[in-house]
Homo-oligomer: A and B are copies of this chain.
Amino acid sequence: MSEPTGLRARKKERTRDAIGDAAVSLFLERGFDGVSVNDIAAAAEISKPTLFRYFPTKEDLVLHRFADHQGEAARVVRDRRSGIKPVTALHRHFRAGLDGYDPVTGLNDHPEVVAFHRLVFTTPSLAARLTRYQLEDEEALADALGEGIQARLQAAQVLAVQRVLARTNWQKIADGRTARDVHPEAVTDADQAFNQLR
């Protein structure tokens, strides 16, 4: 099933994970600006140049978790079964994320996850960089949807919807509610939003 991973690939992935995990846990502990890249490199037991070989900027040390979902929307559209409309496929995918309490839907009450979201949303440079990721995502989705202004508009709207839904869910959880408790209204919100898109 899984590709025949050589030693090289396996170790690279491990190093990447080690850096990312060390970074996030330090950030959650002392805040984005309270941690230097030197600290992270030391914690991950790698050198500074190596760190920057894996992550181009300090921000990416946080956002790689979003970056890993990069292009997901476009993929969902491309891989949909024939006869299914793009928006429907995206709707179902989001719904599945909700049911699985996927962190990207905002519907996850693990303390670490909610702290992580707070970190991202309350650190300006991170929020800024995040929107850049979302723009790239939007372009990819637009390409998957077709050409012309119609596709671009729809892509923008879909991602805007997802963004709002995720933030809404996260906000409710940040206010102290549990994911299971919020789940029903998250579903109806999503149904309503996606239905309006059609």
- A positions within 8 Å CB-CB of B: 7, 10-11, 45-47
The residue from B7, B45, B46, B47 contacting A45, defined by CB atoms under 8 A apart: B7
Residue numbers in B under 8 Å from A7 (CB-CB): 45-47
The complex places the Cα of A45 from the Cα of B10 at a distance, in Å, of 9
Q: Give the distance to chain B from A153, nearest Cβ to Cβ, in Å.
A: 50
Sampled A-B contacts (5; CB under 8 Å): A7-B45, A7-B46, A7-B47, A10-B45, A11-B45
Q: Give the distance to chain B from A28, nearest Cβ to Cβ, in Å.
A: 25
Residue numbers in B under 8 Å from A11 (CB-CB): 45
The complex places the Cα of A45 from the Cα of B46 at a distance, in Å, of 18
Residue numbers in B under 8 Å from A45 (CB-CB): 7, 10-11
Q: Give the distance to chain B from A44, nearest Cβ to Cβ, in Å.
A: 10
Residue numbers in B under 8 Å from A10 (CB-CB): 45
The complex places the Cα of A11 from the Cα of B18 at a distance, in Å, of 15
Q: Nearest 5 A-B pairs (CB), nearest first?
A: A7-B47, A7-B45, A7-B46, A10-B45, A11-B45
Q: Give the distance to chain B from A4, nearest Cβ to Cβ, in Å.
A: 13
Residue numbers in B under 8 Å from A47 (CB-CB): 7
The complex places the Cα of A46 from the Cα of B47 at a distance, in Å, of 21
The complex places the Cα of A153 from the Cα of B9 at a distance, in Å, of 56
Q: Give the distance to chain B from A130, nearest Cβ to Cβ, in Å.
A: 32
The complex places the Cα of A45 from the Cα of B15 at a distance, in Å, of 14
The complex places the Cα of A45 from the Cα of B7 at a distance, in Å, of 7
Residue numbers in B under 8 Å from A46 (CB-CB): 7
The complex places the Cα of A46 from the Cα of B10 at a distance, in Å, of 11
Q: Which residue of B is nearest A8, CB measured?
A: B47
Q: Which residue of B is nearest A10, CB measured?
A: B45
Q: Which residue of B is nearest A45, CB measured?
A: B7
